[in-house]
Amino acid sequence: MAITDKIYLKNHRQIASQLETNIPKGAFKGATLDILFQGEGLANLDDATQDRVLEFATDFLDCDCESNPHCGHPEEKFIAYLLELREGGLGPDAIVDVMGDDYMLYAYPGDVLSFLDDAVRTLEAVEELAEVEGYGSAAGAARDRKRRLS
Ligand SMILES: [Zn+2]
């Protein structure tokens, strides 16, 4: 399962009652994206929640794809956001705190940790492959990125 399948709405119950409909807890579940972030849903939320939901929509759901928000870009952008926080020196617990402050989302720190470990392992594989194939600068780039994530 991708890390974006393990990102949850922090105030899920409150949101569901404001929307007067049941939505999944997962922030990137299809029904959540449809109901919460589009049209009418938004108007029924209290101001504080609305602000965060709008922030989320602006930062992650802003592509022009026809299938938006089901085009995969929101997930990609969110993964980039997590990696940026890590490169900024944050550990899993702090990353969870920040996503709570920014977007009222939460994840389990253990899931964030395994996501970060996987990212480092992927970069290691890229680095090795690039070295074997003689792509020195690609290997170097992977090595730098890995160092920033470790
Ligand atoms: Zn898109």
pLDDT under 70 in the chain at which residues?
38-39
Whole-number Å distance, alpha carbon 91 to ligand 1 midpoint, is 29
Whether 103 and 142 share a structural domain: no
Whether 82 and 125 share a structural domain: no
What is the pLDDT at residue 36? 80
Whether 43 and 61 share a structural domain: yes
What is the pLDDT at residue 28? 95
Print burial letters for 87-97: b (CB count within 10 Å at least 16), e (below 16): eeebebeebbe
Angle between helix 109-132 and helix 73-87 axes, rounded to 10 deg: 90
Whole-number Å distance, alpha carbon 32 to ligand 1 midpoint, is 17
Q: What span, in angstroms and rounded, lies between the C-alpha atoms of 5 and 105? A: 12
In the structure encoding, which two tokens stand for residue 144, read together? 């730098």
Whole-number Å distance, alpha carbon 69 to ligand 1 midpoint, is 7
Whether 91 and 142 share a structural domain: no
Whether 32 and 98 share a structural domain: yes
What is the pLDDT at residue 71? 94
Residue ending a domain, among 90, 107, 124, is: 107
SS3 category, 65: coil
Whether 17 and 35 share a structural domain: yes
Whole-number Å distance, alpha carbon 136 to ligand 1 midpoint, is 32
Cα distances from 73 to residues 2, 12, 32, 40, 139, in angstroms, run 14, 23, 16, 23, 26
Give the residue numbers spanning the domain of 126.
108-150
Q: Domains in the chain: how many in total?
A: 2
What is the pLDDT at residue 26? 96
Whether 68 and 125 share a structural domain: no
Whether 149 and 88 share a structural domain: no
Whole-number Å distance, alpha carbon 68 to ligand 1 midpoint, is 5
Cα distances from 17 to residues 21, 44, 111, in angstroms, run 7, 10, 28
pLDDT in tens, 33-73: 888 876 677 888 999 999 999 999 999 999 999 999 999 99
Which of these, 89, 145, 91, lies nearest to 119 by C-alpha position? 145
Whether 88 and 112 share a structural domain: no
What is the pLDDT at residue 107? 98
Whether 17 and 43 share a structural domain: yes
Whether 20 and 76 share a structural domain: yes
Whole-number Å distance, alpha carbon 78 to ligand 1 midpoint, is 12
pTM summary value: 0.91
Whether 56 and 83 share a structural domain: yes
